[in-house]
Amino acid sequence: MPVVFLIRHGENDVMHRSLAGRLPGVHLNERGRKQAQELVELLKNQSPNAIYSSPLERAVETAEPLAFATRQKIQIEPGLLEIDYGRWQGRTYKQLQRLKAWQLLHKEPSQVQFPGGETLPGAQRRITTYLDEIAKSHAEKDVLVCFTHADVIRLAVAYYLHIQLDDFQRLSVLPASVSGLMLGGETPQLLFMNLTSSRLPEMRK
C-alpha cells in the first residue's frame, strides 16, 4: 500500500489568536519558515513520488522547500483544504468562546454545523474520499506527501482508526508535524503520528 505522509503547515501569526480557516493571505512567520526547512531533512531521504498541498498559502509555503529539494512539482488539491468554518473564520478565539455552538464543538463536534460552512462529518467524508482516491492512483510502494491542516489530519486519522468523530480532538497535531498512514488496501494502518523529530522510521526496506 502507498505510504501517505500528512503534514500540518508551519506556524503563522494568526493561529494563536484567531481561527484562520480558509482566509487568504495567512503566511508562515519566521518560525514557520524554519520549520518548513527542517522538514526537508526529515523527508528528503523518503524519496517522495508526489507532493500534494492544500491551496492555502501557509500549506504551500510549507511544501515549497521539500519540493525544491526533491525536484517535485507541488500539486494543489482542494481535497486537502482546511475545514470550511464559514462565518467563524477570522474571528478571535476570545469571541468564539462566548458562543454556545463553540462549547458544543468541544463536547459533540459531530453535531455542529459551522454557520455558512461545513459539518465535520461532511468534511471527514471529503478528506478521506480524496485520500483514498490518491492512494489508489499510485503504485504500492509509492510515498505521497500531503501538506494540509490540523483538523484535516485529525479527522482523517480518526476515520481510518475507527475513532468516533466526537473524540477526534483528542488527537494532537503540532505545526509542521508528520503523521504516516498506509492506505489503499482493505486495512489502513497508522504508522506514526505527530512526529517532529529529526528522523522518520524506516518505511521501506
Residue whose C-alpha is closest to residue 200's, from 36, 6, 3, 43: 43
Residue 82: active-site member: yes
Cβ of 191: how many Cβ atoms within 10 Å? Answer: 16
Q: Which of 11, 82, 118, 138 is an active site residue?
A: 82
- Please say if 27 is a catalytic residue: no
3-state secondary structure the chain: CCEEEEEECCCECCCCCECCCCCCCCCECHHHHHHHHHHHHHHHHHCCCEEEECCCHHHHHHHHHHHHHHCCCEEECHHHCCCCCHHHCCCEHHHHCCCHHHHHHCCCHHHCECCCCCEHHHHHHHHHHHHHHHHHCCCCCCEEEEEECHHHHHHHHHHHCCCCHHHHHHCCCCCCCEEEEECCCCCCEEEEEEECCCCCCCCCC
Q: Which residue has the cell 521539500?
A: 66
Catalytic residues: 9, 82
